[in-house]
């Protein structure tokens, strides 16, 4: 019979003697003394590491499974969740992101002082570069009639940083918002931006309804 107290001993295996110990050198009894099973510290560590590895693998797989694109769906941004963090501009696998600002003209107030177009406290309310909010100059401003101006997104210049969206949301009515443009998006199985989006704003939408639009009339896309 194995001495049960040996279970509680944690001596270094080298201290054990093959002569006066009923177990092989470097081995500790495991389970009941009658089980006949024994486990070395190295085996214990090895098994523990394997178990942890499997647990981590499973956790990662489970986490990613929630983001994996389902069949017949496309990635899109839910504008009501988007917090305009700027990651859409940098996390996309494309060199210039597939995310672009979208403008709902049906919602837009056609404001003379558009907070999505002008820097806070601009020098003048005109199209001078020093007055424009967009670092890439991706918004076009056109006079319609006093005091109304129309704003349009130049998709080729927009990088999807969301700076104008924040200005519009903070002071206006949210007619500017971000969307994935599907003429550019390569629809990765796991969208790289969705992995970085801190607001969980990336959702899967049916292929037949690829955009989540605000308002009635929408331009840009």
Our CB check for another protein shows the closer of 183 and 191 to be 191
For the bound state, the minimum distance from the C-beta of residue 91 to another protein, rounded and expressed in Å, comes to: 8
Our CB check for another protein shows the closer of 109 and 208 to be 109
Our CB check for another protein shows the closer of 112 and 140 to be 112
For the bound state, the minimum distance from the C-beta of residue 140 to another protein, rounded and expressed in Å, comes to: 18
For the bound state, the minimum distance from the C-beta of residue 96 to another protein, rounded and expressed in Å, comes to: 13
Tokens of 84: 């305009």
The verdict on whether omega for the bond into residue 147 sits within 30 degrees of 0, i.e. cis, is yes
For the bound state, the minimum distance from the C-beta of residue 60 to another protein, rounded and expressed in Å, comes to: 6
The CB-side HSE value for 174 (13 A sphere, CA atoms) comes to 10
For the bound state, the minimum distance from the C-beta of residue 194 to another protein, rounded and expressed in Å, comes to: 11
Do the Cβ atoms of 25 and 16 come closer than 8 Å? yes
Our CB check for another protein shows the closer of 93 and 170 to be 170
**Could you tell me which residues come within 8 angstroms of residue 39 by beta carbon, excluding any fewer than 6 positions away?**
27, 28, 30, 47
Tokens of 208: 């037949």
Closest CA relative to residue 88, chosen from 172, 205, 140, 166: 166
- The whole-angstrom separation of Cα 209 and Cα 198 is 24
Our CB check for another protein shows the closer of 153 and 183 to be 153
DSSP 103-158: E-TTT----SS-TTTBPSS-SSSSS-GGGB--TT--EEEEEEETTEEEEEE-TTT-
Tokens of 165: 């969206």
Residues that bind another protein (CB under 8 A): 18, 24-26, 38, 43, 50-51, 54-67, 80-87, 89-90, 108-115, 120-121, 133, 135, 146-148, 161-163, 165-167, 169-174, 198-201
Our CB check for another protein shows the closer of 111 and 185 to be 111
For the bound state, the minimum distance from the C-beta of residue 105 to another protein, rounded and expressed in Å, comes to: 12
């Amino acid at each position: 019979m194995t001495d049960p107290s040996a279970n509680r001993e944690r001596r270094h295996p080298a201290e054990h003697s093959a002569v006066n110990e009923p177990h092989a050198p470097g081995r500790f009894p495991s389970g009941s003394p009658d089980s006949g099973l024994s486990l070395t510290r190295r085996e214990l560590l090895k098994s523990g590491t394997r178990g942890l590895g499997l647990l981590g693998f499973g956790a990662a797989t489970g986490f990613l499974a929630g983001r994996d694109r389902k069949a017949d769906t496309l990635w899109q941004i839910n504008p009501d969740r988007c917090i305009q963090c700027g990651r859409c501009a940098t996390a996309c696998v494309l060199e210039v992101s597939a995310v672009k600002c979208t403008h709902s003209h049906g919602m837009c107030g056609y404001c003379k002082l558009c907070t999505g177009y002008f820097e806070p406290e601009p020098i003048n309310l005109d199209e001078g570069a020093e007055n424009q909010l967009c670092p890439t100059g991706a918004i076009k401003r056109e006079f319609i009639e006093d005091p109304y101006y129309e704003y349009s997104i130049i998709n080729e210049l927009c990088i999807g940083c969301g700076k104008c969206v924040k200005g519009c949301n903070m002071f206006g009515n949210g007619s500017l918002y971000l969307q994935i443009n599907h003429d550019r998006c390569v629809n990765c199985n796991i969208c790289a931006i969705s992995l970085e989006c801190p607001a969980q704003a990336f959702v899967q939408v049916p292929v037949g309804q690829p955009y989540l639009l605000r308002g009635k009339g929408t331009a840009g896309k």
